[in-house]
Amino acid sequence: MDENCIFCKIIAGKIPTLKVYEDKDVMAFLDIAPANKGHTLIVPKKHSKDMLEDNNKDLAAVMKAAKKISAAVMKAVSAEGFNFIANTGPVAGQVVFHTHFHIIPRFENDGLKHWPKKDYSEDEMIAVKNKIIESI
């Protein structure tokens, strides 16, 4: 528990939220700045800055809950699909430093855009692939 973390405060019941799911490891609630109706956040109850600092047990609990919650969100808002996103680090758009995942329901012509495609040479791709493999 981090006393300065807004998500820890939500989990502790110190800040009201529109909770849609809770179990012993995970809580899910509607995003207060939604990209689409039904936009839901899933957070592990144990505080960690981001998914790279989270332990595998907590991440597994989030993934298990995410499957159940994503299906329920889609059904509730009649979504045609959804994006499942974790922003990790400020440059990626993370503003709350407690591991969390977004379920963003998607609808035909909803105006949300995916990232732009950026090409790089096959030689660069092979070099990046090799660096990733070395780093694992």
Separation CA 42–CA 31 (nearest Å): 10
Answer for the pair 76, 103: CB distance below 8 angstroms, yes or no: no
100 is catalytic: yes
Separation CA 110–CA 84 (nearest Å): 16
Give the active site residue among 39, 100, 102, 114.
100
Give CA torsion, residues 74, 32, 90, 48, to 10 deg.
-80
Separation CA 108–CA 128 (nearest Å): 34
Count of alpha carbons within 13 angstroms of residue 78, beta-carbon side: 1
Give φ, ψ of 129 to 5 degrees: -55, -45
Residues with catalytic annotation? 100
